[in-house]
Structure 1
Amino acid sequence: MARIGVEETLTDVQQLLREHGHDVVVLKREQDMNGCDCCVISGQDQNMMNMQNAEFQGSVINAHGFNSEEICDEVEEKLQLH
């Protein structure tokens, strides 16, 4: 089971990832990314939580323009690469 950080506005993505068996962490601040294998951001704010300056080693997925299923598929694809 992967630990996925998801921006707090993406509640439908959080729920779907939980249904797929992932441990979901709601991202409210930069520190919430610690220990996450992957993060999903809304893409509405290009500098969400100053992530462009964060030293995060996992994948960051921009959810803008995608539905929950597409985002979940992308997360699981990224996790297979690690």
Structure 2
Amino acid sequence: MTRKVAVEDNLSAIKQVLTQRGFTVVSPESKENVMACIVTGMDSNLMDIQHTVTKAPVINADGMTPEQVVARIESLQ
């Protein structure tokens, strides 16, 4: 499985830890095949729009440390 993860731009600490652990970090808008998509939770579906852009798990990083996010991603492998 690819070790490519989509991460929102404002999650720089998580991006840094993922890169250090050997993951490739891309933008969620890149439409690349990723193993997970990391979001802040601020983009919750306020308008009830339901477009599926990825089949990868979406992880809400709100309240999580970068290490917790990495552990969650690694549990997917």
TM-score range, shorter chain: 0.7 to 0.9
Extract unaligned runs of 5+ from structure 2.
none
What does residue 65 of structure 2 align with?
Answer: 67
Q: Conserved in 2, the CA contact under 8 Å of 1:33 and 1:39?
A: no
What does residue 56 of structure 2 align with?
Answer: 58
Cα separation, 2, equivalents of 1:34 and 1:52:
19
Cα separation, 1, equivalents of 2:74 and 2:50:
23
TM-aligned CA distance change 1:8 to 1:52, over 3 Å: farther
Extract unaligned runs of 5+ from structure 1.
none
Alignment of 1:15-54 (within 5 A): 15-27=16-28, 29=29, 32-47=30-45, 52-54=50-52
Cα separation, 2, equivalents of 1:21 and 1:12:
15
Structure (1 or 2) with the larger CA radius of gyration: 2
TM-aligned CA distance change 1:54 to 1:18, over 3 Å: same
Higher helix share: 1
The Cα offsets for residues 22-59 of structure 1, whole Å up to 9 and x where unpaired, read as 011033x3xx2421121100111204xxx841241111
Moved over 4 A (4+): none
TM-aligned CA deviation for residue 76 of structure 1: 0.9
